[in-house]
Amino acid sequence: MTNKSSIYCSQTITITEHRILANDLNEHQTVFGGRLLELLDGTASISAARTAHNSTVTAAVNQFDFIAPLKLDDSLIIKSYVSGIGNSSIEVFAKIIGEHLNSGKRFIAATSFLTFVLTDKKIELPTLVPQSPEEVTICNSYSQRRAEYKKSSLAFKTIADSISLE
């Protein structure tokens, strides 16, 4: 039996910053959700790769919650880190922090959980070790989220199997 290595959540942190420009906005003059998801996926994928040290692919955006809108002349910071590790899957938590550049005021704009899967199932993933109070809270509820995701995935598969191509 081999000893599994471990990794701290802090070793998987990835931070991306982006200034909101006119081409990022939708008809409501807030950041277009698709643009935000594009930035989010790119950032979160780095956290997953830092854990696997191998190729991963996005399997799901399990949850995405908009909390406050991002507008022109704001900036956004995406901070992600690994929040759970399965046999061949990695869950990443991300928070999107907005900043009103004219005042410097920061706020939580959105949060999300994404799942990435290994392309090589033979890779042994490390054990995750949370340290900060936020990491402990997020990681402690991983098993519950994973069970809920599996249940909803089975329900969706039933629906997907019945969808017509017409």
- Tens digit of each residue's pLDDT (9 = 90 or more) over 82-91: 999 999 999 9
Residue 3: predicted pLDDT: 60
Question: Is 91 in contact with 114 (CB distance < 8 Å)?
Answer: yes
Q: What is the mean pLDDT of the chain?
A: 94
Angle at 60 between CA 12 and CA 120, to 5 degrees: 65
Domain boundaries, the chain: 6-161
- Domain 6-161, what fold? Thiol Ester Dehydrase; Chain A (3.10.129)
Residue 68: predicted pLDDT: 97
Per-residue model confidence as pLDDT tens digits over 66-84: 999 999 999 999 999 999 9
11-31: average pLDDT: 97
| Single pTM value for the model | 0.92
Torsion sign, CA atoms 50, 52, 57, 61: negative
Task: Provide DSSP, 19-46.
Answer: E--GGGB-TTSBB-HHHHHHHHHHHHHH
132-148: average pLDDT: 96
Question: Is 149 in contact with 115 (CB distance < 8 Å)?
Answer: yes
Q: Which residues pair with 79 in a beta bridge?
A: 15, 95
pLDDT band for position 18 (cuts 50, 70, 90): very high
Task: Provide DSSP, 55-108.
Answer: -EEEEEEEEEEE-S--BTTEEEEEEEEEEEE-SSEEEEEEEEEEEETTTTEEEE
